[in-house]
Amino acid sequence: MSRPDTPDLYAQDGPYAWFRLAISILLSTIGGAGMWVVVIVLPDVQTDFGVDRAGASLPYTATMAGFAIGNFILGRFVDRYGIAPPVIASALFLAAGFSLAALSQNIVLFTVAQGLLIGLGTSATFGPLVADISHWFLKRRGLAVACAASGNYLAGVLWPSFIQWNLQSADWRETYFVIAAICLVTMVPLALLLRRRPPEAALAMDPASQRFGQHTTGLSPTALQALLIIAGLSCCVAMSMPQVHIVAYCVDLGYGVAPGADMIALMTGMGVISRLISGVLADKIGGVRTLLIGSVLQCAALFLYIPFNGLASLYLVSLIFGLSQGGIVPSYAVIVREYLPAREAGQRVGLVMMSTILGMALGGWMSGLIYDLTGSYQAAFLNGIAWNFLNMAIMIFILFRGRARLAMS
């Protein structure tokens, strides 16, 4: 019987790696509260502070901004100190942020708490966790990355239900205090289980020696990083159109709010399945091809929204959309690990994740602006499709550039 400290136990794809993945999913699901809570309590916050809907929406925008920037900042800390310190900091930020927000007497302080503390705290449980888990897997890296990234979607399934249940017996301020306590009590002990640093061999691995890394592009790391940032921004501008505006679209069509909310839940649930499928696919064909497939399917789903606006057809198209788009964002982390230095994974994955979040924010605003100018969402869908084509073009360029380099070698 082997000793518990044998090297095999802590090797890539080993038993400890799978244990670590399970802890990462739990942390991502718990820490993901920061992404969803403010959306659920928005009507109560609006009434409490006596502001209009635009003013009540500012805290969500601030949260997304903090979440985006934090993916890069905390990603750099992961490269230097490992994942445990940033996640512990995340727990402290979330506990402080939810507590400060609960005590806020005006919308300004509430917005600051959401963006500076909750948004930043939530970020450690997305890109940084994904980057960390990527070091612990080689043969099943795509699946591991997809599983870790799915915690964000699982949070979208679990937290809204918990919040709605809690609001039946408490107001939004008491609910925020409860969430602060949950984050602090659960995340710190879980983070301490992740103190072990990745295997040195994984950090020292040259991308060219990895399974799909032999398809080098000939681009400098900076140039490839820039392309991935543009691709991440563009795909999520397209992705945001249904996710941000499907409820309003259903209201415009006369179906009401409830079907739109159901469609968001359907997209999110199918997104988890999509992430797992794309993770398995990435282990077989690589991140670039997997992302390209997801982008093509997402583009097709966006096209389907234009002619089909019946209630049943919208449910079906939303299901297709969820199955197509869920695996796109985790594929960027796989691509970074295939082509770029392992020791810089935290900041490089964080940069791409930041671009995807900014793309969601930009796309949501852009679609609303187009609707205001045209009085219809048809042009907004076409705008999303155009951005989607840009993402596809970048992936095709990287793929064929890699093939050309391989043919010359």
User: What span, in angstroms and rounded, lies between the C-alpha atoms of 299 and 389?
Assistant: 8
Rounded to a whole number, what is the distance in angstroms from the first to the last CA of the chain?
A: 46
258: in domain: yes
Contacts of 85 (CB under 8 A, 6+ apart): 77
**Could you count the other beta carbons within 10 Å of the beta carbon of residue 243?**
21
Q: Which residues of the chain have pLDDT under 70?
A: 1-8, 53-54, 200-217, 402-409
Q: Tell me, yes or no, whether 182 and 240 share the same domain.
A: no
Give pLDDT, residue 6: 47
Give pLDDT, residue 201: 58
Give pLDDT, residue 213: 47
Q: Tell me, yes or no, whether 161 and 303 share the same domain.
A: no
Give pLDDT, residue 4: 46
Phi, psi (rounded to 5 degrees) for 136: -95, 0
**Could you count the other beta carbons within 10 Å of the beta carbon of residue 117?**
23
Helix, strand or coil, per DSSP, at residue 208: helix
Q: Tell me, yes or no, whether 57 and 143 share the same domain.
A: yes
The domain of 382 spans 207-408
1: in domain: no
Please give the structure tokens belonging to residue 24.
């990462």
Q: What is the pTM of this model?
A: 0.81
Give pLDDT, residue 252: 86
308: in domain: yes
Q: Tell me, yes or no, whether 289 and 232 share the same domain.
A: yes
Final residue belonging to a domain, choices 135, 169, 204: 204
CATH number of the domain residue 294 falls in: 1.20.1250.20
Give pLDDT, residue 214: 46
**Could you count the other beta carbons within 10 Å of the beta carbon of residue 304?**
17
Q: For 29-76, what is each residue's pLDDT tens digit? A: 999 988 888 877 877 888 888 877 667 777 877 888 899 899 888 888
20: in domain: yes
Q: Tell me, yes or no, whether 343 and 254 share the same domain.
A: yes
Give pLDDT, residue 20: 94
Final residue belonging to a domain, choices 187, 204, 221: 204
2: in domain: no
- Structural domains in the chain (count): 2
Q: Tell me, yes or no, whether 185 and 240 share the same domain.
A: no
- What own/partner pairs with CB < 8 Å and gap ≥ 24 does 216-223 have? 216/339, 216/402, 216/405, 216/406, 217/339, 217/398, 217/401, 217/402, 217/405, 218/401, 218/405, 219/401, 221/340, 221/341, 221/344
Candidates 391, 364, 352, 402; CA nearest to 145 is 352
Q: Tell me, yes or no, whether 332 and 365 share the same domain.
A: yes
Q: Tell me, yes or no, whether 191 and 269 share the same domain.
A: no
Q: Tell me, yes or no, whether 292 and 196 share the same domain.
A: no
Q: Tell me, yes or no, whether 281 and 328 share the same domain.
A: yes
Final residue belonging to a domain, choices 159, 189, 204: 204
User: What span, in angstroms and rounded, lies between the C-alpha atoms of 233 and 226?
Assistant: 11
